[in-house]
Amino acid sequence: MKSGLPSRLRCGIFDHLDDDGQDATRQYEDRLELAEVCDSLGFYAYHLAEHHFTPHGRGPSPNLFLSSLAQRTRQLRFGPLVLLLNLYHPLRAFEEICMLDQLSGGRLELGIGRGSQPIEWGYFGISADAAPSRYTEASEILNIALKGHQLSYQGHHFQLTEVPLTLRPHQRPYPPTWIASNRPESAQWAAANGANLACIGPACVVRKVTDAYRSHRAHNTAAHGREPFLGLLRMVVIAKSDHDARVAAESAYRRWLESFKFLYELNATPTPPALPLTFDAALESELCVVGTPASVRRLLLHQIEEAGANYLLCQLAFGNLPLEISLYTATAIKAEILESFGG
């Protein structure tokens, strides 16, 4: 094992649940089947993004989908990454979080955030100007609720008086928390608050974020009795030949990209500058890792080491990638990575 790699590397699944061209019923069932297989293979968790009014996300109510996933799996942990807290009353979010954690016997991984698309908030009447302060208040209320039995709060957006919190999460004191960010200052906050971190981008860029996390982490602490997770997200496609993997991944990325750009183009808004606009650019930027089991193993382990990550977030299903390729990729990751790191 190369020095610089974590002694134990866990793998999870990240999913936009973006439109794959099938009807939604079929796609939901395919994803649940993929989750079942990943559960049996020893993947750690399934993380679902939240998007609205766009083919980029067919899981606008992630908690609803995750409640089904909880009943179809036994060991696989799961959670939103991230729950768009601005679109929930924080008390409603708290109650749903408690229900999910109880339904699963304590397998919830809770990611919260504001999200990256003000267009989506706007459809719900949340302005870009109001979003930061509303999110701050909602996250404060949620944090208080997760720790207490009665809640009072007086803010600009929310006023709560002696709300009895009769439901509790299964995990104590509360489920592990996550944020998704590529900014060192956000990593510092996550470290100070015991949150796990999910990052995307070239490994050399992510390394600045993971270094910031480690430098601000409180000494001798671990979140929920485990080392904090510093996640590196990659779209992964594995096939028996490099050619087959590339053909499948290029088609899938093209469709995923169309879904990603949908709201931007509809509203004549520029896409994020870091978004790779071609498949070759996605490979160059390290967003996509594609090839045979052996070649993907080499690439992923090199990027994990360079990024200073200890958790690999694999986007196994995206665009119109066939289920059988996602399943093959999951099985190859089990053989090439999980078995080598005690997974």
Domains annotated on the chain, with CATH: 10-341 (3.20.20.30)
**CA–CA gap between residue 130 and residue 80 (Å, rounded):** 23
pLDDT computed for residue 2 by the predictor:
46
Cα dihedral sign for 14, 136, 115, 61? positive
Strand 177-180 to 196-199 pairing: parallel
**CA–CA gap between residue 329 and residue 176 (Å, rounded):** 27
pLDDT for residue 87 is more than 50:
yes
pLDDT computed for residue 343 by the predictor:
55
pLDDT for residue 8 is more than 90:
no
pLDDT for residue 214 is more than 50:
yes
**What's the pLDDT band for 1 if we cut at 50, 70, 90?**
very low
**CA–CA gap between residue 63 and residue 70 (Å, rounded):** 10
Q: How many residues does the chain have?
A: 343
Among the listed residues 4, 73, 1, 69, the one whose alpha carbon sits nearest the alpha carbon of residue 31: 69
pLDDT for residue 305 is more than 60:
yes
Share of the chain above pLDDT 90, in %: 90
- Across 236-246, average pLDDT: 98
pLDDT for residue 114 is more than 70:
yes
Least confident of 118-132, 218-232, 318-332: 218-232
- Give the 3-state secondary structure of residue 339: helix
**Tell me, what DSSP letter sits at residue 56?**
T
- Burial (0-12, 13-18, 19+ Cβ within 10 Å), 268: exposed
Among the listed residues 78, 32, 34, 73, the one whose alpha carbon sits nearest the alpha carbon of residue 178: 78
What's the mean per-residue pLDDT of the chain? Answer: 94
Share of the chain above pLDDT 70, in %: 96
